[in-house]
Structure 1
Amino acid sequence: MAQIPPYKICFVPKSKEEEEEDEKIYKRYSEIAAATLPTTEGWTGKPMYQYQGFWYNSGLHGIGPLAVQDHFKARPSDILLASIPKSGTTWLKSLAFAVINRKSNPPSAQQQHPLHIFNSHDLVPGLEWLLYNNNLNALSGSRIVYICRNTKDTLVSWWHFNNKMRSNISLDAMELEEALHWFCKGMSSFGPFWEHVLGYWKASLERPQNVLFLKYDEMVVEPVLHLKKIAEFMGCSFSPIEEKEGLVDEIIKLCSFENLSNLAVNKTEKNASGLPNSSFFRQGKVGDSSNYLSPEMLEQLDRITEQKFHGSGLKL
């Protein structure tokens, strides 16, 4: 029996007429983006568009923000997961999915768990990619869980990821010096990095009941503490019995880098957006950037980060 795509489970399918209307909407926004928005060559050789101060890849990423602002209406019960790329997005999606669905899909039954069958990005699709392909149902919204990562590791991870994408389309690898140059100018997907992070940080201070701000580096050190914090924020706290039975540890093990990266689905298959699932897993280590960035590069990124975050109370 053929497997049902996970986004058909998590999202309500649209009719053929609605899908055709969505195609018209995307075509219209694509034409607007190409004709009116500042454009530059992206990290994988395709154009990037600048919209309201941030850069987006061409295609669904590029026009997604325009369409979302015009059409998406969040509900009070909704939950959104947010991040800049290569900040722990895959891990956060896995944890949130496992927590919310722990009754119907207990982590103890690992071999049958959806995370063993589908990539996290299929189980929790991106808003910019699939907003009009499916109506949002249970995994979107007015509460936002945001994850960020220290500047240096984010850059190096993003550089590796884009070089994998460039290799897939027969482009030469981008030099790290060039990646640093564009990153510091703010010209990376969803960048500038610092403005992206700072926006969510300020929102978490102003509306802590609506925005949970997480740091990847801290989650790696204390995963139990942060998973319980995520569950509480999403409105599905662990009961004393669940904690006593080891459910928190089971979810952490299920969603660990070691477990997910070694699954067949994440080694050989592609996700719904066409990217190899393996591209979302490299090392996941804190501080790996020191193996690639020179002392001068490290100092440059530290200096910019300190300047950008000065007076905010945020440190990465």
Structure 2
Amino acid sequence: MEVQESNLRPCPPLIVVSKIEITDSKYKKLIDSLPKEERFPVGLRKYQGFWQFQNGIPGVLAMKEDFNPRPNDVIVSSFPKSGTTWLKALTFTIMHRDKYTFSNHPLLKLSPHDCVPFIELHYALRDKQYLETLPSPRVLGTHVPYSLLSDNTKISTCPIIHICRDPKDVIVSFWHMFTKFDGLMESLSFEQMYELFCEGRVHIGPVWDHVLEYYTKSLISPKKILILKYEEMLKDPTNGVMRIANFIGCPFSEEEMKSCLVEKIAEFCSFNKLRNFDIKQNEGNLKSYYYRKGIVGDWQNYMTPEMANKLDEVTKEKLCDFTF
């Protein structure tokens, strides 16, 4: 069944779950019993080792209990601000390259988050049925750690692609994104966010545990989980495109290689192209929360050498042999 643009619709940003009312008494009782982080402007609770928007936890629980992927689904996962938007655009375009030309592509009108919806968001919004309306093969996204994926997802044949990024750049992008949301976090300085981040007390943190769960599982099941590094992808995006295609079972044919389709997809989904699509979609005003600079090393404009060294030391200690 071919994917049609009419099946896709604009989705709200994931942070809307922080404002969802918890109506299920079972969930409310559980959430009220969980440790709470008071310093974070948006309510966070710690559930099974990870801090999350407390009002989004029911969606994560429902997803864990109920979500059953189709065999040909592809799931893209990440810690927030680690290359999520880019990975969604690349994977969707690679998967559906036989259905769209670059001139009629959904990304010209919709964001990558519309084309690749967050599973937990639709469960939190009590809108899981929307996911069922999407024809196969679906590309779906998630920010939840591996341990909180449904058992059906873990035992399924659907591949999972996880992208990670140097935590120093993650925190800068993370802080900028959250300060854009309706003034929710205007009161939180970068220094305050830095301390919370180092303690792991941010949404879906700690980042090290999040990355380590997927990395460890990838060592055990390399055909199930592919780990991509943001910095390596930026250095050689065409190699990244080919790795994704091979991993999800959609390798490029000799004819496609000769026509430079790999390079064309890398260019079509490049940061500047996606950003320009977003500007046009929003009538010339960049309203999206998902695009800023997309570069490596911007942390140097925000951190002192001491701050950077501290974060590097924490990263080295927590991630052991894994390096960014």
- TM-score category of the 2 structures, normalised to the smaller one: 0.7 to 0.9
In the alignment, the residues of structure 2 paired with residue 221 and residue 264 of structure 1 have an alpha-carbon distance, to the nearest angstrom, of: 24
Give the structure 2 partner of residue 315 of structure 1: 323
Between Structure 1 and Structure 2, how many residues are aligned? 285
Call closer, same or farther: CA 1:266–1:92 in 2, change over 3 Å.
Answer: farther
Kindly indicate whether the alpha-carbon contact (under 8 Å) linking 2:242 and 2:252 is maintained by their aligned counterparts in 1.
Answer: yes
The structural deviation recorded for 1:25 is 9.7
Q: CA deviation at 1:139?
A: 2.3
Q: Could you tell me which residue of structure 1 aligns to residue 8 of structure 2?
A: 6
Match of 2:89 in 1: 94
| TM-score when normalising by structure 1 | 0.83
Compute the RMSD of aligned alpha carbons: 2.4
User: Cα offset for 1:151?
Assistant: 1.1
Structure 2: runs of 5+ lacking an equivalent: 11-19, 141-152
Q: Report the CA distance between 1:173 and its aligned residue.
A: 4.2
CA–CA distance in structure 2, aligned partners of residues 182 and 38 of structure 1: 15
Instruction: Output the amino acid matched with 1:115.
Output: L
Shift, 1:73, TM fit = 2.0
Aligned counterpart, 2:33: 36
Q: Which residue of 1 aligns with 2:277?
A: 263
Q: Give the counterpart letter for 2:66 in structure 1.
A: H
Alpha-carbon contact 1:29-1:66 (below 8 Å) kept = no
Q: Which whole-Å deviations, capped at 9, do the CAs of 1:258-316 have from their partners, x for residues lacking one?
A: 111112567628xxxxxx85210000001111111111110000110111122xx2112
Using the aligned pairs only, state the percent identity: 36
Aligned to 1:116: 108
Q: Is the 8 A contact 1:7 1:124 kept in 2?
A: no
- Structure-2 residue corresponding to 1:284: 294
Deviates more, 1:68-77 or 1:130-139: 130-139
Which of 55, 67, 70 is the matching residue for 2:65? 70
Q: Relative to structure 2, which stretch is displaced further, 129-138 or 61-70?
A: 129-138
2:169 corresponding residue in structure 1:
153
Unaligned runs of 5+ in 1: 9-22, 270-275
Alignment match, 1:58: 54
Shift of 1:30: 4.6
Cα deviation code 1:213-253 (max 9, x no counterpart) = 00001000010111100011111111111111011111111
Q: 2-side partners of 1:145 and 1:7: how far apart?
A: 23
For the pair 1:163 / 2:210, whether they are aligned, the reply is no
CA contact (8 A) 1:200 1:211 kept: yes
What is the identity, as a one-letter code, of the residue corresponding to 1:58?
Q
* Structure 1 residues 122 and 27, CA gap change in structure 2 (3 angstroms): farther
Q: 1:264 to 1:95 in 2, by over 3 A?
A: closer
Of residues 260-269 and 137-146 in structure 1, the stretch that sits farther from structure 2 once superposed is 260-269
Instruction: Give distance in 2, aligned partners of 1:62 and 1:86.
Output: 20
Read off the aligned partner of 1:149 and give its amino acid letter: R
Task: Please report how far the alpha carbon of residue 85 of structure 1 lies from its aligned counterpart in structure 2 after TM superposition.
Answer: 0.1
- Specify whether residues 29 and 155 from structure 1 end up closer, same or farther in structure 2 by C-alpha distance, changes over 3 A only: farther
Does 2:218 correspond to 1:204? Answer: yes
Letter in 1 for 2:24: K
Structure 1 runs (4+) greater than 6 angstroms displaced:
23-26
